[in-house]
Chain A
Amino acid sequence: MTRPALILVFGLAGCLAGFLAFYFAGTASSRELLRQPSPELAWLKKEFNLGDADYERIVALHQAYLPGCAERCRLIEEQTAELRRLLEDASGVTHEIKAVMERRAKMRAECEAEMLKHFFDVSRTMPSEQGRRYLAWIEEQTFLRGSAMEQQHHPATHDHSSHQH
């Protein structure tokens, strides 16, 4: 191979090597998060600069919250199935349909209240500044976001869903 051809190849190889080295170095911390047993909680620790003790308490709160959340979801799903059964033969909104809808709405409100309580518990576990930031972010990401229908009628709220750090 001639010298100019070698320079051509070295240039391309150097370009590729530079790309790979900086790409893998730049994504190392994110890939490390993905290797954790709970990547989403590991992300929370990194994002909100939590110490090990705070992180352990938040993991415990998270684990304690999940079974209750699953049970509430199961109850709401039961009401949804009941509503679906009633709607199959319905030609209008009957008292029975309305009652199921009200029960389901009440359960959803309870679910949201428990969720909010969990958010406050988690935020109190964090250092105060990070706790405030967490609370503002998670509220926007969850029930303050509203449904698609609400957003359609209030287009000005679209930007509220952005990641606020």
Chain B
Amino acid sequence: MTDPLPPRFQEQVWQRIARAESKPGTAFWSDFVQVFLRAFTRPRVAYAYLTVLMAAGVAAGILTAQAERARLETDLGQRYVQTIDPYRLAASNP
């Protein structure tokens, strides 16, 4: 004995098929994520992924900090010059 199908079952199935076909990008990304996640079941890939991402974060942090430190220290040097050189103050504020 089988349960009866819900009302408008066939219509809903065809609508879902139509929606899936009208958005090929969604299927592509879904497949891509699945492949990506499946790769993590292999320990080597998972460790490599973690290592590369961590290293990328650290490298980005170091480089950004260097740039920020250089900018801040240049600003402070210019602030020192401006306190003792009024002409510089006028020139830097056109």
B81 touches A142 (CB 8 A): yes
B53 touches A12 (CB 8 A): yes
Q: What's the A-B contact tally at a CB cutoff of 8 Å?
A: 130
Binary A-proximity of B70-94 (CB < 8 A = 1, otherwise 0): 0011101101110111111001000
Q: How many residues of B contact A (CB 8 A)?
A: 38
A16 touches B57 (CB 8 A): yes
Residues 25-81 of B at the A interface (beta carbon under 8 Å): 36-41, 46, 49-50, 53-58, 60-62, 64-66, 68-69, 72-74, 76-77, 79-81
The answer to whether the Cβ of A138 comes within 8 Å of any Cβ in the partner chain is yes
The answer to whether the Cβ of A97 comes within 8 Å of any Cβ in the partner chain is no
Complex Cα gap A20–B60 (Å)? 9
B62 touches A22 (CB 8 A): yes
Binary B-proximity of A55-90 (CB < 8 A = 1, otherwise 0): 000000010011001001100100000000000000
List of A residues within 8 angstroms of B79 by Cβ:
39-40, 43
Binary B-proximity of A102-144 (CB < 8 A = 1, otherwise 0): 0000001001000100100000000000000000001001110
A18 touches B85 (CB 8 A): no
List of B residues within 8 angstroms of A29 by Cβ:
69
B86 touches A69 (CB 8 A): yes
B46 touches A22 (CB 8 A): no
- Picked from A2, A39, A76, the residue with its CB within 8 Å of the CB of B76 is A39
B40 touches A18 (CB 8 A): no
B84 touches A27 (CB 8 A): no
The answer to whether the Cβ of A8 comes within 8 Å of any Cβ in the partner chain is yes
**Centre residue among B38, B69, B74 by max chain A CB count within 10 A:** B69
Complex Cα gap A102–B72 (Å)? 39
Nearest-neighbour CB distance to chain A for B94, whole angstroms, equals: 9
Complex Cα gap A17–B28 (Å)? 30
Nearest A-chain residue to B49, judged by Cβ:
A11
Beyond A7-B40, A142-B87, 20 additional contacts (C-beta under 8 Å) are A3-B41, A4-B37, A8-B40, A10-B50, A16-B57, A18-B54, A18-B58, A19-B60, A22-B65, A25-B65, A26-B62, A26-B68, A30-B69, A30-B72, A43-B76, A69-B86, A118-B84, A138-B81, A141-B85, A163-B74
Shortest 8 CB-CB distances between A and B: which pairs?
A26-B65, A22-B61, A18-B57, A15-B57, A4-B40, A43-B76, A40-B80, A4-B37
